[in-house]
Amino acid sequence: MSDPAQGASRSIAPWLWWLTLVAVAVAFSLRGEAWLRRLLIYLSGAGWARDAVTRLPLAWQAANRFVSGETRDEAMRVTRALNDQGLLVTLDFLGESVADAVQAAAARDEILALLDAIAAEGVEANVSLKLTQLGMKIDPALAESNLCLILERARRYGNRVRIDMEDSPWTDTTLAIYRALRDEHGYDNTGVVIQSYLFRSAADVERLVAEGAWVRLCKGAYAEPPEVAYPRKADTDASFVRLMRRLLSAEARRNGVYAGIATHDDRMIAATQAFARDQRIPLDAFEFQMLYGIRRERQLELAAQGYRLRVYVPYGTAWYPYYMRRLAERPANIWFFLSNLRRR
């Protein structure tokens, strides 16, 4: 027998979300893109918004532009198709901020199975993950233990695992776990992410260059206070270019740094191409990285030009926060979402 209260909640939820969309549109018109971005990031962590959006019949249809599927098999099919087009892949089982050790173990086991599948299928893919998904907020030692098992499995297959960077309160802990596993436990098959909007990133990059690290450089996709991160996009972009040049410098390459330049911004891409040409950097000495579902034609174009292009391919049922951060990174994607809803 159905629960009348649950049915009422489901009927109200779409209206709640439509009101939210109206608020988003008003925010954009009155306050501009920067304020809209902060609103969308807030919504990415709001439980009421998650419940409302995920109940909409066509919400998954819109999110599916950026998420390969809800299952590992769907993600593997997308990976094979991308490989067939000459693109590399990093796979991400979606999830973050688990509530207990049981959930952290379940995420760990799924990632272990993902590494098994990559090896069995023979696809060209590595793995990205978030430490809060492995229990970092519960106990950093729990996340470190879970990641140790994942890195051991990856090493058995000759594969690599990248630790995604989350919001700034966890930057120090993330880097500490990364270094403990690499330096103390000997797992040299792990890498880390640097976000150009953080003031601290220049110093972090200097240390990573000295260490010969495996690094992905991105702009950042969380709401950060002005004392921690650049509030203006122009400053974040300028920082991105500076950090890119340092990660691709002759010293960095001598030390063994391999950088993934993660951007969809043509200006950042052009700056990287120009620096590589000026410094005569081989095209296989670094790679561009882009998200699944964003600028697909540009991805193929760069690969056709001889650049290594890796696509970040997420999958899983916990797609809502990831999807909302993608909207925040590029608010124009909101209109894609609305166009799907209008087809109901």
Q: Mind telling me the catalytic residues?
A: 164, 216
Whole-angstrom Cα distance, residue 311 to residue 294? 10
Whole-angstrom Cα distance, residue 147 to residue 33? 37
- Considering only CA atoms, give the Rg of the chain: 20
Cα 188 to Cα 97, 216, 334: the distances in Å are 26, 15, 40
Could you tell me which residues come within 8 angstroms of residue 197 by beta carbon, excluding any fewer than 6 positions away? 219, 220, 224, 229, 230, 236, 239
Write the single-letter amino acid at 156.
Answer: R
Best CA proximity match to 320, nearest among 67, 7, 20: 67
Cα 263 to Cα 20, 24, 91, 142, 301: the distances in Å are 29, 25, 17, 32, 14
Residue 159 tokens, joined: 């594969």
Best CA proximity match to 52, nearest among 20, 14, 22, 19: 14
The three-state secondary structure class of 312 is strand
